[in-house]
Amino acid sequence: MATVDTFLPDIIQTTFFSGYTVFNTVVYTLILAIFVVAIIKMFKKLDIDPISIFYAIIPFIFLGSSTRALVDNGFYPKTVFLITPGLYILVGLITIASFLLSIYLFNKMEIDYRYTLFFLGIIFSVPNIILFSKLNFISIIYVLITWIIASLIFMAIAFLVLYIKNKNSHKAIEKILKHKINFSIVLAHLFDASTTYVAVEYFNYSEQHVLPNALNQLFDTYLTLFPMKIIVIVAVLYIIDQYFEDQTIKNLLKLTVFVLGLAPGLRNILTMALGT
């Protein structure tokens, strides 16, 4: 087994840095929950809607995903701060610090904090962008074609739900499918499913997460990723929209779900694009 950091005890390396298990998945979920609660309190104190930075944080998502892809391909060393969960904690803290700086500049100089945050993310990502000089565009094309097909199928399903007259059509589902942010979240997770499917089916990668592997063993195909993503994410968005009245909590949860879809998707496609 390749070690992460020699100073870490073997039990830590085996438990948390040797692939995903039910146990460490639960631990990562708890860590994420703690972060989410802390960030909710931050947004409430600042009196800012989390959804306002929905697109502004994309460069930071790229930063985390591209760093992990570069680690996987040997460009950066495999240390505790450059792989899950350390990397995403580090990038999360950088994002928060950048956001607070953006708010400070907004209050002092009235510079739109969304633009400041976006450009700070690009600046942090420049070293990674430079390292992506030679890419395997075949894998990128495979992913984009798969994603487009999956997205068109989802859009067709959404069209059937929204526009074919059906007295039993649920208004809450209509709200989910018509909302731009919700739609973007579903597309982000379909992108993640597309990258995973292409990686394991065409480029001999292996899936590390517990649930997709269980479904693959049950149905003998990773195509199950697509209906699983649609069902789970639409259900999650339905719960968020129906049962959370606090706007800050609701929108921060949506932001989190978006990141959980786009980040692994970007990591997958960038890892394949490096060609190893």
Least confident of 4-13, 27-36, 72-81: 4-13
**Does 6 have pLDDT greater than 60?**
no
The mean per-residue pLDDT over the stretch 167-193 comes to: 79
**What pLDDT score does 181 carry?**
92
- Rounded to whole angstroms, the Cα distance separating 246 from 173 reads 20
- Rounded to whole angstroms, the Cα distance separating 42 from 104 reads 14
**What pLDDT score does 174 carry?**
66
Percentages helix, strand, coil for the chain (3-state, rounded to 5) are: 75, 0, 25
Q: What is the pTM of this model?
A: 0.84
Unique residue bearing structure tokens 């942090």: 124
Hey, how many other C-beta atoms are within 10 angstroms of the C-beta on 269?
26
Q: Per-residue confidence at 1, pLDDT binned at 50, 70, 90?
A: very low
CA distances from 244 to 42, 44, 185, 240 (A): 18, 15, 17, 5
Hey, how many other C-beta atoms are within 10 angstroms of the C-beta on 45?
8
The mean per-residue pLDDT over the stretch 138-143 comes to: 90
For the chain, give the percent of residues with pLDDT over 90: 50
- Rounded to whole angstroms, the Cα distance separating 230 from 19 reads 25
Tell me, letter by letter, the H, E, C secondary structure of 9-66.
CHHHHHHHCCCCCHHHHHHHHHHHHHHHHHHHHHHHHHCCCHHHHCCCCHHHHHHHHH
The mean per-residue pLDDT over the stretch 133-157 comes to: 88
Q: Dump pLDDT digits (tens) for 237-252.
A: 989 988 899 999 999 9
H or E, element range at 115: helix 113-131
**Does 115 have pLDDT greater than 50?**
yes
Q: Dump pLDDT digits (tens) for 189-245.
A: 999 999 999 988 888 776 666 566 666 666 667 788 898 888 999 999 989 988 899
